[in-house]
Amino acid sequence: MGVASESSDPAEGSEAFRCVGSLTIARAASTQREIDAAADPLTIDLAGVEKIDTVGAWVIYRTVRDRGAKVVGASPDVKELLDQVAEADNPVQVRPDERAAPLRALNELGEWVADAGRTLVGLVAFFGSVLVAIAAIIRRPKRLRINAVVHRFDLVGVRALGIIGLMTFLIGIVIGQQGAVQLEQFGAEVYTINLIGRITVRELATLMTAIMVAGRSGSAFAAQIGTMKITEEVDAMRTIGVSPVEALVVPRILAAIIMMPLLSFYAMIMSLIGGGMYVWIDLGIPPLTYIQRLQEVVPVSDLWVGLIKAPVFGFLIALAGCFNGMLVQGNSEEVGTKTTAAVVQSIFMVIVLDAVFAVFFSQVGWI
């Protein structure tokens, strides 16, 4: 039965709105319009209401709240529902209170430190699982997937030759140009060769190679393994008794360790060629003189410093890429997030370790 309502003039001068039958969602809109049309002061008589739901109770409560109407004749059940609706009418805080700027900064710093700590602990644990897998392969060499390692040689090394060669060639030119501009003020342009040779062979060639490998191969490792996690290929490997670390991680790490020294040596040659072309064209120093000068001023220890750092950088890059790939779960958006994290972590660890190597080699006398 619908809501039947009528208006009358009560004895005390207020207008009475009488509801009869059902006061439910089906008639809530029409009842609201009729109540809005009634004049103040208003008294709502609910004695004839047989059925009411929360929508109907909300209409009555809102009228009482906004217009100060009085409710009479409500049965105990109706009154209880009206009380529940009134209790539920609490103001909602659309925006949370913002912390003061110093507190917010401290909170964000704390969250960052906590995330960094969890990442470090996870990376150390993953490093341990890699060592266990390598030990298992050493005990049983047949478990090493040679084809997978060779395939990663192509991804990490061969396909990177073009971009690494171009970048380091240009870096050699830039170092030569900037060094010559400063040294010519003292009439010492010939020492530009010293600058090119030592800084590229000892530091920049290996460092730039590591950064580019992190951007290319580290991100590729994270994306490949992350996609396999989403498609449940990694879970399927575990189901059939194949270790994902042995099958996916170890080949990538070995490929990066082996290829990084070769790429670093290639980058050294290309940067020296770039610097040699600059000093030949701009300073008039012929290639033969340039090569002889390099042999005189660049010690073999500089070459060894660069080549010793390279496989360590390769290991860190592959480890970070595979670690973040294994962390992927949920959806494809996670792949992009972890790929970015892999590149950032790789470059960060490479630069930090390069600084550690610089101090170490200085202490042992390889200056």
Residue 241 pLDDT exceeds 60: yes
Helix, strand and coil content of the chain, in percent to the nearest 5, comes to 75, 10, 15
Query: Quick check: 225 and 322 in contact, CB under 8 A?
Result: yes
Q: For residue 76, is the peptide bond before it cis, meaning its omega torsion is within 30 degrees of 0?
A: no
User: Which residues pair with residue 4 across a beta bridge?
Assistant: 20
Residue 61 pLDDT exceeds 90: no
pLDDT of residue 3: 40
pLDDT of residue 17: 77
pLDDT band at 6 (very low <50, low <70, confident <90, very high): very low
pLDDT band at 97 (very low <50, low <70, confident <90, very high): low
pLDDT band at 11 (very low <50, low <70, confident <90, very high): very low
pTM: 0.71
Segment 2-7 shows an average pLDDT of 40
Reported as a single tens digit per residue, the pLDDT across 118-154 is 988 999 999 999 999 999 999 998 888 899 899 999 8
pLDDT band at 20 (very low <50, low <70, confident <90, very high): confident
pLDDT of residue 171: 94
Residue 66 pLDDT exceeds 60: yes
Helix or strand or coil: residue 188? Answer: coil
Q: Which of 93, 116, 215, 233 is nearest to 164 (CA)?
A: 215
Structural tokens at position 238? 């575990």
Integer CA distances (angstroms), 166 to 59, 170, 235, 323, 324, in order = 74, 6, 41, 30, 29
pLDDT band at 211 (very low <50, low <70, confident <90, very high): very high
pLDDT of residue 311: 96
Q: Which of 121, 105, 279 is nearest to 191 (CA)?
A: 279
Segment 245-263 shows an average pLDDT of 94
pLDDT of residue 7: 42
pLDDT of residue 99: 62
Q: Which of 192, 206, 252 is nearest to 228 (CA)?
A: 252
Reported as a single tens digit per residue, the pLDDT across 274-316 is 999 999 998 889 999 999 999 999 999 999 999 999 999 999 9
Sign of the dihedral through C-alpha 237, 238, 241, 245: positive
What domains are there in the chain, each with its CATH number?
Answer: 3-88 (3.30.750.24), 145-363 (no CATH)
Strand segments, DSSP code E, in 98-229 are none
Segment 220-247 shows an average pLDDT of 91
Residue 266 pLDDT exceeds 90: yes
For the CA atoms of 104, 105, 106, 111, the dihedral, rounded to the nearest 10 degrees, stands at 90
pLDDT band at 4 (very low <50, low <70, confident <90, very high): very low
pLDDT band at 201 (very low <50, low <70, confident <90, very high): very high
